[in-house]
Amino acid sequence: MTVRLRGHHLLCLLGYRGMGYSPEYVANMTAVHERLRREPQTPVALVDGPDDLCACFPRDRESHCERAGVGSRDETVLARLGLRTGEVRTWEEIERRIAGRVVPSDIARWCVTCPWRPYGVCEEGVSRANRGLPLAPLPDEK
């Protein structure tokens, strides 16, 4: 089954450590993260706008999924990776592209308004990718 992801979520998954906007969001993101970690050949469809992760954003909170700034971040990430919406690539290929084209300091420039950026986990995830390491296991799995 194909996972649908927007551009910046490719980087969010690298830094995911079990934190999220709600229990439902965390459960969904954990399921996607673990599938990609355990099955790197999973096909990923690159989409414009809300994706499989946005689908579980809490309905009682102001959604940022359709804000122009988020779409701009998606475009920036995809352009750096040499990818476009509508393409389908394996997660493994996406990780290789990230490893060769993104550096940890890109997160500080691209993700200025992200509430998760201060934790430093996305920079850590990009650094892991740069070293050829796959997605990190979640904290309770070590």
Q: Which amino acid is at 7?
A: G
Tokens of 116: 């998760």
Phi, psi of 116 (to 5 degrees): -90, -15
Under 8 Å CB-to-CB from 31, ≥6 apart: which residues? none
Regarding predicted confidence, which is higher, 56 or 1?
1
**What does the pLDDT look like over 43-83, one tens digit per residue?**
999 999 889 988 876 666 665 665 667 888 999 999 999 99
Residue in the block written with tokens 């979520």: 9
CA distances from 25 to 46, 56, 80, 90, 136 (A): 20, 5, 27, 23, 19
**What does the pLDDT look like over 74-104, one tens digit per residue?**
999 999 999 999 999 999 999 999 999 999 9
- The structure's pTM equals 0.91
Res 33: pLDDT: 97
